[in-house]
């Protein structure tokens, strides 16, 4: 199979274009010979690199051993499983034999650490055991936190099904901007962030009899803070049971933190996994993924494939390329069912990854990190791991937060590989070299609390009345300077006074489940009389990356459609126009289709908007609109995001005002060709360079108006706000002007 030119981006309508006939022939030949050589029989590892000579060359370096205590009894195969009813499936999970011991241990101890291999049934089964054992009899609930939204939704759906109830009744979930629970709910799955917020209204978690902090090993910021909060509560609520559940080896550390709480180990069942590395580094890992998937599909025995990518865009790209290749190969291959899974995917599509694979077909799941430990997809035999993940990183020296793709840790790589050995011996293909694994990957992922902006967390803790943050009981304390910076930022936003106490503004800000800058923007809309518009902008920003639809085969049309929404003052206003026009179309699907807008994202924006409007009412801000000029809107945005300001410098680059970092306007921005002197950005993303995404033009004097304690007039000199004359040497479309 030919991999295609590296780094080549096809801008024409690929589906209308016939594949190059030479390439087609070559691909068919390669495939034929591969099939001829190996047919569908199992390939022994040592034969493997022979087979792959013409393709990506992998070398097998080690075999990750299965568990010693593996249950070698006849395996439950996928087809047998299909015949099993729910009861039998539940009994087949590794946690099942320990049900009674586990319940006994929970009765005996207030805090219990539970450790067990991913997929052993911790998340779906333990809450049910507790329910059956009567832990909800006194009218109290069992709570279970998940670091990821998708997991909370999908796991609760599964549990509702197992219990034969409607989701939202006895079993429900609650995530940011979406509450699917009712009076009847006794098993409540929620994101860790949601529980964090619940402390505000119920500081003793009085309505819960058991709280499970699940996927503790993920060490998200919220989970880390929850550790401190629940530990504190457990001291005065002796009736509350606390379970900390983790997939990996951190159990000892958790136990120590929770005053030597006992550890309950669920013996794992893991089959050996052969690990393959590429012989040479791969320049384009999406392409390498596609090639590897086809290699596996053409040469390896049936069994599903799990591919780890970093985000929605990458998954969509990979999906399209793969689909296209498969189509061209036609009936030479068995059926390959391609299924994506990422946070923004609508839940009905998410559920598809759990559908059993039809006989004689193969499923390939293109997933984000979510499939690393939070979700277990049965029947995965092959894992493809490019070795990257998207990570939020905060530089406490510059105060800048950037979303970037970074290499994963060895611990993550091994978790990923382990996903291949759950139902049978598996294979993991790492798209990097053995050398890179050994020398370039860190041992463990740094916990979020030590690498992201703490503004949000600090505001929440302050709102809970926890003032002395330096002495908060952290499992791993955040760096001192990050804490200080968060305090400074909240002070500049007006959320804290100079004693570090929460102000009235801060209290109102804490009502919103959004980061402090966005909360401030929402509140500032009161002063600038544009709450309707700002609420829409906030809702759209929260789904922004998924608003515009850009199918590979219609890129030109899609980009033209997108440009029609461009607002001269920038992207926030473009998003506002999209939303308003959609409202005018009476929330039409057809309108979305015609304008290359993702209907589902719009629907979500509408839901988020509704929630925000409710919260605005709670803080007593009237919904008003009517500004015809965009100045007020932009001022309100600036009142929240005055940290994110950059000024035009040489060569079409920008420099951030406070830290003089070089950044650029993202090519998708309405202002990409405009180059205003002063801009405000919503976020920074690092791809090939540091890009500002979602940008508006501002006037520097507004900064003195909205953040007088943060900006000095001197920093904002040269604020004529005239556009700079076009500079020489900047490549790109702007030169055409």
Angle between helices 571-584 and 631-641 (to 10 degrees): 120
CB of 265 to Mg ion, least distance (A): 15
* Distance between CA atoms of residues 642 and 517, nearest Å: 8
* DSSP code per residue over 286-324: HHHHHHHHHHHHHHS-S-EEEEE-SSHHHHHHHHHHHHH
Question: Taking CB under 6 A as the rule, which mask of x and - marks residues 49-88 in contact with ligand CDP?
Answer: ----------------------------------------
Asked if 123 touches Mg ion (CB under 5 A), the answer is: yes
Among 378, 488, 553, 607, binds ligand CDP (CB under 6 A): 378
The residue (of 54 and 78) whose beta carbon lies closer to ligand CDP is: 78
Asked if 121 touches ligand CDP (CB under 6 A), the answer is: yes
Asked if 376 touches ligand CDP (CB under 6 A), the answer is: yes
Stretch that binds ligand CDP, among 149-157, 477-485, 498-506, 601-609 (CB under 6 A): 149-157
Residue carrying structure tokens 């906030």: 538
| DSSP 8-state class, residue 54 | G
* Distance between CA atoms of residues 196 and 191, nearest Å: 9
CB of 420 to ligand CDP, least distance (A): 14
CB of 428 to ligand CDP, least distance (A): 18
Among 113, 124, 261, 445, binds ligand CDP (CB under 6 A): 124
Angle between helices 455-463 and 192-201 (to 10 degrees): 30
689: nearest Cα among 404, 488, 463 = 404
Per 3-state DSSP, the chain is made up of helix, strand and coil in percentages (nearest 5) of 45, 20, 40
Among 38, 52, 58, 119, binds ligand CDP (CB under 6 A): 119
Partner touching 116 among ligand CDP, Mg ion, none, CB below 5 to 8 Å by kind: ligand CDP
CB of 119 to ligand CDP, least distance (A): 5
Among 48, 123, 213, 218, binds ligand CDP (CB under 6 A): 123
Q: How many residues bind Mg ion (CB under 5 A)?
A: 2
Stretch that binds ligand CDP, among 141-149, 152-160, 197-205, 307-315 (CB under 6 A): 152-160
Partner touching 124 among ligand CDP, Mg ion, none, CB below 5 to 8 Å by kind: ligand CDP
Looking only at residues 249 through 288 of this chain, which bind Mg ion when binding is defined by CB under 5 A?
none
Asked if 155 touches ligand CDP (CB under 6 A), the answer is: yes
Angle at 155 between CA 150 and CA 157, to 5 degrees: 100
Angle at 639 between CA 637 and CA 643, to 5 degrees: 95
Give the pair of three-digit tokens for residue 261.
């709480």
19: nearest Cα among 32, 4, 31 = 4
Listed as own residue / partner, the contacts of 480-488 with beta carbons closer than 8 Å and 24 or more positions apart are: 481/396, 481/397, 482/394, 482/396, 482/450, 482/453, 482/454, 483/454, 483/458, 485/396, 485/399, 485/453, 485/454, 486/453, 486/454, 486/455, 486/457, 486/458, 487/458
Among 154, 223, 317, 601, binds ligand CDP (CB under 6 A): 154
Q: Tell me phi and psi for residue 691, to 5 degrees.
A: -110, 140
Determine contact, residues 235/103, Cβ cutoff 8 Å: no
Give the pair of three-digit tokens for residue 14.
């690929």
Stretch that binds ligand CDP, among 122-130, 521-529, 534-542, 687-695 (CB under 6 A): 122-130
* Distance between CA atoms of residues 306 and 326, nearest Å: 17
CB of 114 to Mg ion, least distance (A): 10
| DSSP 8-state class, residue 502 | B
Asked if 635 touches ligand CDP (CB under 6 A), the answer is: no
Determine contact, residues 196/222, Cβ cutoff 8 Å: yes
Rg (CA), the chain: 27
Partner touching 121 among Mg ion, ligand CDP, none, CB below 5 to 8 Å by kind: ligand CDP
Among 96, 354, 491, 686, binds ligand CDP (CB under 6 A): 354
The residue (of 122 and 222) whose beta carbon lies closer to Mg ion is: 122
Asked if 122 touches ligand CDP (CB under 6 A), the answer is: yes
Partner touching 576 among Mg ion, ligand CDP, none, CB below 5 to 8 Å by kind: none
Among 114, 120, 173, 513, binds ligand CDP (CB under 6 A): 120
Stretch that binds Mg ion, among 117-125, 259-267, 480-488, 527-535 (CB under 5 A): 117-125
CB of 181 to Mg ion, least distance (A): 20
Q: How many residues bind ligand CDP (CB under 6 A)?
A: 17
Give the pair of three-digit tokens for residue 564.
């029609």
The residue (of 120 and 632) whose beta carbon lies closer to Mg ion is: 120
Partner touching 158 among Mg ion, ligand CDP, none, CB below 5 to 8 Å by kind: ligand CDP
461: nearest Cα among 218, 227, 216, 209 = 227
Partner touching 506 among ligand CDP, Mg ion, none, CB below 5 to 8 Å by kind: none
Interface residues with ligand CDP (CB under 6 A) are 93, 116, 118-125, 154-155, 157-158, 354, 376, 378
Interface residues with Mg ion (CB under 5 A) are 122-123
């Amino acid at each position: 199979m030919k991999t295609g030119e590296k780094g080549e981006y096809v801008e024409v309508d690929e589906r209308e274009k016939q594949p190059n006939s030479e390439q087609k022939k070559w691909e068919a030949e390669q495939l034929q010979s591969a099939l001829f050589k190996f047919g569908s029989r199992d390939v022994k590892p040592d034969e493997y690199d022979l087979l792959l000579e013409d393709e990506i060359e992998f070398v097998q370096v080690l075999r990750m051993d299965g568990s010693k205590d593996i249950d070698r009894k006849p395996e439950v195969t996928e087809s047998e499983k299909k015949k099993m009813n729910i009861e039998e499936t539940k009994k087949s999970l590794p946690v099942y034999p320990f049900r009674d011991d586990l319940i006994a241990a929970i009765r005996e101890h207030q805090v219990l650490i539970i450790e067990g291999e991913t997929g052993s049934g911790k998340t779906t089964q333990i809450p049910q055991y507790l329910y059956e054992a009567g832990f909800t009899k006194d009218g109290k609930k069992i709570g279970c936190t998940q670091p990821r939204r998708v997991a909370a939704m999908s796991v609760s759906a599964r549990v509702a099904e197992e219990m034969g109830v409607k989701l939202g009744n006895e079993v429900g979930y609650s995530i940011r901007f979406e509450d699917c629970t009712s009076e009847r709910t006794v098993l409540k799955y929620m994101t860790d962030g949601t529980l964090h917020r619940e402390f505000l209204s119920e500081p003793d978690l009085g309505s819960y009899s058991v709280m499970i902090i699940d996927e503790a090993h993920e060490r998200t910021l919220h989970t880390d803070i929850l550790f401190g909060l629940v530990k504190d509560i457990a001291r005065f609520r002796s009736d509350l049971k606390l379970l900390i559940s983790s997939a990996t080896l951190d159990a000892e550390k958790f136990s120590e933190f929770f005053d030597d709480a006992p550890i309950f180990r669920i013996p794992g069942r893991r089959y050996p996994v052969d690990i393959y590395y590429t012989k040479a580094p791969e320049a384009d890992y999406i392409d390498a993924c596609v090639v590897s998937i086809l290699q596996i599909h053409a040469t390896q025995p049936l069994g599903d494939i799990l591919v780890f990518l970093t985000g929605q865009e990458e998954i969509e790209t990979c999906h399209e390329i793969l689909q296209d290749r498969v189509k061209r190969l036609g009936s030479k291959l068995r059926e390959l069912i391609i299924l994506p899974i990422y946070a923004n995917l609508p839940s009905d599509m998410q559920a598809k990854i759990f559908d059993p694979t039809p006989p004689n077909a193969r499923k390939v799941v293109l997933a984000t990190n979510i499939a690393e430990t939070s979700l277990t997809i049965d029947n995965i035999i092959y894992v493809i791991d490019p070795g990257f993940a998207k990570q939020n990183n905060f530089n406490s020296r510059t105060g800048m937060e950037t979303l970037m793709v970074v290499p994963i840790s060895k611990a993550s790589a091994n978790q990923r590989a382990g996903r291949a050995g759950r139902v049978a011996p598996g294979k993991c293909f790492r798209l990097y070299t053995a050398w890179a694994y050994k020398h370039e990957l860190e041992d463990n992922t740094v916990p979020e609390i030590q690498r992201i902006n703490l503004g949000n967390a600090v505001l929440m803790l302050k709102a809970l009345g926890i003032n002395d943050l330096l002495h908060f009981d952290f499992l791993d304390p955040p760096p001192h300077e990050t804490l200080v910076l968060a305090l400074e930022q909240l002070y500049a936003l007006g959320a804290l006074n100079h004693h570090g106490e929460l102000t009235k503004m801060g209290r109102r800000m804490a009502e919103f489940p959004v980061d402090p800058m966005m909360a401030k923007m929402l509140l500032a809309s009161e002063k600038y009389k544009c709450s309707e518009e700002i609420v829409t902008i906030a809702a759209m920003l929260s789904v922004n990356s998924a608003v515009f639809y850009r199918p590979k085969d219609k890129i030109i049309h899609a980009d033209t459609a997108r440009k029609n929404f461009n607002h001269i003052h920038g992207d926030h206003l473009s998003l506002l126009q999209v939303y308003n026009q959609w409202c005018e179309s009476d929330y039409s699907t057809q309108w979305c289709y015609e304008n290359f807008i993702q209907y589902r994202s719009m629907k979500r924006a509408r839901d988020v908007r509704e929630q925000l409007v409710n919260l605005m009412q709670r803080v007593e801000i009237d919904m008003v609109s009517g500004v015809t000029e965009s100045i007020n809107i932009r001022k309100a945005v600036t009142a929240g995001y005055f940290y994110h300001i950059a000024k035009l410098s040489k060569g079409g680059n920008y420099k951030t005002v406070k830290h003089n970092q070089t950044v650029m306007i993202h090519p998708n921005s309405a202002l990409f060709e405009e180059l205003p002197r002063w801009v405000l950005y919503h976020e920074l993303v690092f791809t090939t360079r540091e890009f500002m995404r979602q940008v508006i033009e501002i006037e520097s004097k507004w900064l003195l108006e909205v953040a007088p304690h943060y900006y000095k007039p001197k920093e904002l000199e040269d604020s004529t706000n005239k556009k700079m004359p076009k500079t020489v040497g900047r490549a790109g479309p702007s030169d055409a002007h």
